[in-house]
Amino acid sequence: MTLRRAEKLAYYFALVLVVYMPLHIFLAQSLSVVTGGLEVWKAAKDVILVLAVFPLLLLAFKQGAFKSLFFKRFIMLGACYVALYMLFLLFDKNADIKSAIIGSVYNTRILGYFLLGYVVANSGKGKEYTGALLKTTLIMCLIVACFGVLQYFLPKDILTHVGYSLERGVKPNFFIDDKPDFPRVMSTLRDPNSLGAFLALPITYAVYFLFIKKGKQAYKVVGDNWLKLLLVSSTLCLLFTFSRSGLITVLVSLTTLVVLSTKNKRALTKKYAPLALLVFVLAASLLFAARNTYTVQNVLLHADKSTVQQDPNELRISFAKKAINHIRIYPLGEGPGTAGLVAISNPKGGTLTENYYLQIAYEEGVLGVIIFVAINGLIIMRLYKNRYNHLSIIIFSTGLGIAIFGLLNHSWSNEALALQWWLLAGVAVVAQSKKS
């Protein structure tokens, strides 16, 4: 097979994933009702990705990617990270093997997504492929956002008719504190919080090209009218998730974007600081005045005096304290699948941490989280170095927002969110220059 044909296959593979992943949960649940084999539907995408890793590495070698110091560092850190998981799988005799394998795949597939994006962007038609992938990503974001907005007004049990159920591994609906008068949307993703973080990219992208870099620009792959529709639908969908962590993700992304895009930061501060302070004081005053109302307590705190469940805010703190104490006692880790979303179905037990970094430390130990943070740091610093590139600054800003999101959620366990950011991060680090 020629190099160009191999690159084209990699591009088609990336394109299929970009279309499929945001719809994966919906398609797996609904189609498996007809075909059966829900577990096959769940696992197929990851099995294919694992099988594609070696051909992608070979393709990267033929492209000359290993001449890049950045790429060599990424491969080295990635190899160490994967090797750590392999050691657990081979030598941890007390682990539930199914949970360990699933946990390993969930935590390492992000490296495959990044590698795929890098190889596609590094190809001979990298610019053309990048534009098509980015445009397809935005179209899928628009579909997800529009369905999310529609979902808010549809009957709340509608997804039970297409296979959604707790018994089949996915909740069919979400409510704040399980109160039916406060529904939350998750669209075609797994949960409202992941959807909120997923929407950070389209919102950040739309704001950048509508208000910061107007006119025709590189990586502006859709027109202004489409961007306005994307921004409005994504913002509405974000509000309907009632996701505080999702909102924080978007605010951090947009703040980073504005700060990095402004050359005269002192003038920016003088111009907008008084307005920002006024808005903050007014908002804080209104919230304080209404702090005891039913709506504010549920929307802002996700709990009120009538709450019979454990307060979700206290629960997060409890999870974090429990995980930190456990990591102190077992700094080498308990093994993949013992924390995070996989742990829920682990027959040998596990724990939720509601924090992706603590999840990695709990599972793979202090060494594991150090390697993971190093991989993230390497990519984030590369994107920051390329921040004058339109795509890089958007992915960098979104990446910082999702990094904060990971402190409150099992961020990269969601396949749609993981593919979206890591694939485009792989594209963005190449898009600026192929020489470094």
- Tell me which of 385 and 308 has the higher pLDDT: 385
Contacts of 413 (CB under 8 A, 6+ apart): 106, 107, 340, 341, 342, 356
- pLDDT band at residue 65 under the 50/70/90 scheme: very high
What is the pLDDT at residue 435?
Answer: 43
- pLDDT band at residue 263 under the 50/70/90 scheme: confident
pLDDT of 434 strictly over 50:
no
pLDDT of 325 strictly over 90:
yes
- pLDDT band at residue 214 under the 50/70/90 scheme: confident
**Does residue 420 contact residue 248 with C-beta atoms inside 8 Å?**
no
- pLDDT band at residue 433 under the 50/70/90 scheme: very low
pLDDT (tens digit per residue) in 108-147: 999 999 999 999 999 999 999 999 999 999 999 999 999 9
**Does residue 186 contact residue 194 with C-beta atoms inside 8 Å?**
yes
Q: CA-to-CA distance for 219 and 391, rounded, in angstroms?
A: 6
E strand residue ranges, 35-164: none
Q: What is the pTM of this model?
A: 0.94
Among 268-282, 321-335, 339-353, name the most confident range.
321-335
Mean local confidence (pLDDT), 215-234: 94
pLDDT of 206 strictly over 80:
yes
pLDDT of 333 strictly over 90:
yes
pLDDT of 413 strictly over 90:
yes
E strand residue ranges, 77-204: 174-175, 183-184
| Six token digits for residue 234 | 């994504």
What is the pLDDT at residue 432?
Answer: 59
Alpha helix locations (H) across 158-264?
192-198, 200-207, 224-241, 244-261
- pLDDT band at residue 30 under the 50/70/90 scheme: very high
> Per mean pLDDT, which range of 19-28, 284-293, 380-389 is the poorest?
284-293
What is the pLDDT at residue 436?
Answer: 40
**Does residue 394 contact residue 388 with C-beta atoms inside 8 Å?**
no
- pLDDT band at residue 304 under the 50/70/90 scheme: low
pLDDT of 188 strictly over 90:
yes
pLDDT of 250 strictly over 70:
yes
- pLDDT band at residue 309 under the 50/70/90 scheme: low
What is the pLDDT at residue 285?
Answer: 78
